[in-house]
Amino acid sequence: MVQLTSEMKRLVDSESGTVSREIFWNQDLYDQEMEQVFNRSWLFVGHESQIPEPGDFILGRMGEEAVIVSRGRDEKVHVFLNSCRHRGNRVCRYDQGNSFTHMCSFHGWTYDSTGALVALPYHENGYDQMDKSQWGLLQARVEVFHGSIWATWDKTAPSFHEYLGGSDFYLATGLMHTDGSDNGAEVLGGVVKWRLGCNWKVPCPDTDTTHGWITHRSTALGLGVGPTGNPVRPREDRSVSVGQVRSRYTVSFPEGHTMGVTIPEDSDPGWGDSATWENNPAVRDYLREKFELRKKRLGVMAHLSVGPAIFPNEGWLGRVVRIMHPQGPAMTEIWTYFFVDKDAPQEVKSALGQHYELYYGPGGVTQQDDMENWYALTIASRGPVAQKLDLNYQMRLTEPPLHGPTEFNMPGLFAHNYSDENHRRYYQRWAEVMQAKDWGEMAPTMSAAVQGDWVTNRNGR
């Protein structure tokens, strides 16, 4: 395990379960994050369904910076920095479109759909010594995972697969078709983008299991049905969803990825049986039909519905992906992508889209209240007195993780559903990445833990 320096341990102490508020406010730490975390991690920049044809492009973000995500003439996905190599101007001024060239509006330097510099004025006379191949837009490394597009600036970073460290199993389920076939999802048009005055880590990891009963109490009382379609009214034997009746766990990875997982059982209800679709036969019947196929394909794992929060800034809620883009220590731009089955009937896509709109996004009945809390904790933490008080992540601190990766034949470090274990893993990883000089210094934690050093007693399921 990576030994944290005393300074880093002052900020993040996963043994005592405390985190300094400074990491949400300090400009120097933020600047260090941009270099250490955002310039080295694999970051979600979009989905293939947004750029199906050669020349299609969308804008994405990597840290504070804008990137162009382009389907090249070569049909491959390219990700390059949206900044002209000549004088630094923004090259692409559109959120999306189709073009085989991107011309800078300042002096006309022009790049193709793979980011290569293909034309510049006065080239013949003015730049006779220049090697154009050296002056293309800065290219990121790109990997496409079940349709989702990930990029990193770091040439020394491990492959995306290795970076996921076993959580690929979970990530793939979120990108499947309802019928269990691979890569069957598409982004419903329009990425929802808004700004929120909080540090980008405040909503991370996006798997907080203990806030819903009170943060979203008005959703329970006002609407009766939560975003997952389960009754949200708290009951004695269950909390906010059916999945928590039994065998629900928080699951983390030493790489900082976190999620909530319900151990699937054959008797679990299918997606079409959710209360949300009781009065919508079109969606209900569609989901029932496709879910039967899913069960044939995946067996009991058909019931596994989990999208992991991938370190550092990606989070899933059902088939909704949220990315927290940093915009300074106390400002975040949230981009949300909503997934549906590519080939679903329009009526089904519409109903799902309207369901997403009602619960998620800035106008969503659940997310409105998240934003309120995330903003308010930012305001209430900025003073010099508050800054000296550590935050508490001690829930079930003394309980070791329940078991190692093999217990349920599913990967990850399982812990009680109501615990801060995911947060502790996330911030521990953040601290490691913040101080590590290179990937060599980060690697040992991964292998040791994944190989089972964390296997301890299993106490209660």
Partner 1 sequence: MADLLSHEELLLRLEIEDFFYREADLLDEHRYEEWLDLFTEDARYHAPMNRNVSSQEMDRQLTREAIEMSWFDEGKDTLVKRVKQIRTGVHWAEEPLSRVTHFVSNVRLLDSGSDQVGAGEIRVKSRFLVHRSRLEDEDNTWIGNRIDTLRRVDGEWKISRREIYIDQSVLLSKNLTNFF
By C-beta, is 25 or 414 nearer to partner 1?
25
430 burial level (CB within 10 Å; 0-12, 13-18, 19+): buried
- The helix/strand/coil state of 188 is coil
- β-pair partners for 127: none
Beta carbon nearer to partner 1, 180 or 226 = 226
Separation between Cα atoms, residue 196 and residue 334, nearest integer Å: 7
Taking the CA atoms of 390, 332, 86 and 99 in sequence, report the sign of the dihedral they define: positive
Report the side by side order of strands in the sheet with 12-13.
Answer: 12-13, 18-19, 391-392
The reply to whether 343 sits near partner 1 by the rule CB under 8 A is: no
Residue 122 zone, left/alpha/beta (φ > 0; ψ -120 to 50; rest):
left
The residue range among 14-22, 71-79, 371-379, 424-432 that interacts with partner 1, by the rule CB under 8 A, is 371-379
Asked if 194 touches partner 1 (CB under 8 A), the answer is yes
Member of 136, 158, 270, 362 binding partner 1 (CB under 8 A)? 362
Segment lying near partner 1 (by CB under 8 A), choices 107-115, 117-125, 135-143, 372-380: 372-380
Beta carbons within 10 angstroms of residue 94's beta carbon = 12
Among 328, 363, 444, 452, binds partner 1 (CB under 8 A): 363
Q: Which of the ranges 33-41, 88-96, 146-154, 240-248 carries the binding residues for partner 1, by CB under 8 A?
A: 88-96
Q: Is 372 in the site for partner 1 (CB under 8 A)?
A: yes
| Strand partners of residue 7 | none
Q: Which stretch binds partner 1 (CB under 8 A): 48-56, 100-108, 169-177, 187-195?
A: 187-195
Please identify which residue in 96, 110, 139, 247 interacts with partner 1, judged by CB under 8 A: 96
275 in contact with partner 1 (CB under 8 A) = no
- Using CB under 8 A, pick the residue from 354, 398, 437, 440 that binds partner 1: 354
Tokens for 347, please give them. Answer: 């009526």
| Closest separation in Å from C-beta 150 to partner 1 | 22
Q: Note whether 333 binds partner 1 by CB under 8 A.
A: yes
For partner 1, the closer of residues 6 and 346 by Cβ is 346
Long-range interactions of 47-51: CB distance < 8 A, separation 24+:
47/147, 47/148, 47/149, 47/185, 47/186, 47/187, 47/337, 47/339, 48/77, 48/144, 48/147, 48/148, 48/149, 48/183, 49/147, 49/185, 49/186, 49/187, 49/342, 50/96, 50/187, 51/77
Residue type, 14: S
193 interacts with partner 1 by CB under 8 A = yes
Distance CA 221, CA 131 (A): 66
Specify the stretch interacting with partner 1 by CB under 8 A; choose among 170-178, 363-371, 416-424, 452-460: 363-371
CB count in 10 Å sphere of residue 346: 7
Mark the segment that binds partner 1 (CB under 8 A) among 45-53, 155-163, 349-357, 389-397.
Answer: 349-357
Closest CA to 40 of 140, 166, 108: 140
For the beta carbon of residue 105, count every other beta carbon within 10 angstroms: 12
Closer CB to partner 1, residue 228 or residue 367? 367
State which residue, 247 or 327, has the beta carbon closest to partner 1: 327
Contacts with partner 1: how many residues (CB under 8 A)? 45
Name which of 12 and 59 has its Cβ closer to partner 1: 59
Among 94, 159, 441, 444, the residue binding partner 1 under the rule CB under 8 A is 94
Q: Does 129 bind partner 1 (CB under 8 A)?
A: no
Whether 149 and 77 have beta carbons less than 8 Å apart is answered as yes
Q: In the set 54, 136, 158, 197, which binds partner 1 (CB under 8 A)? A: 197
For partner 1, the closer of residues 356 and 393 by Cβ is 356
* ∠ CA 94-63-206, rounded to 5°: 110
DSSP secondary structure string, 279-300? T-HHHHHHHHHHHHHHHHHHGG
Shortest spacing between CB 260 and partner 1, in angstroms:
22
Q: Scan for tokens 């559109």, then name that residue.
A: 94
Cα(269)–Cα(423) distance, integer angstroms: 30
Task: Verify binding: residue 82, partner 1, rule CB under 8 A.
Answer: no
Nearest approach, Cβ of residue 345 and partner 1 (Å): 12
Q: What's the min distance (Å) between Cβ of 350 and partner 1?
A: 4
Q: Which of residues 210-249 bind partner 1 (CB under 8 A)?
A: 214-215, 217-219, 221-223
Tokens of 208: 């907080």
Residues that bind partner 1 (CB under 8 A): 93-97, 188-197, 214-215, 217-219, 221-223, 333, 338, 346, 349-350, 353-354, 356-358, 361-363, 365, 367-369, 371-375
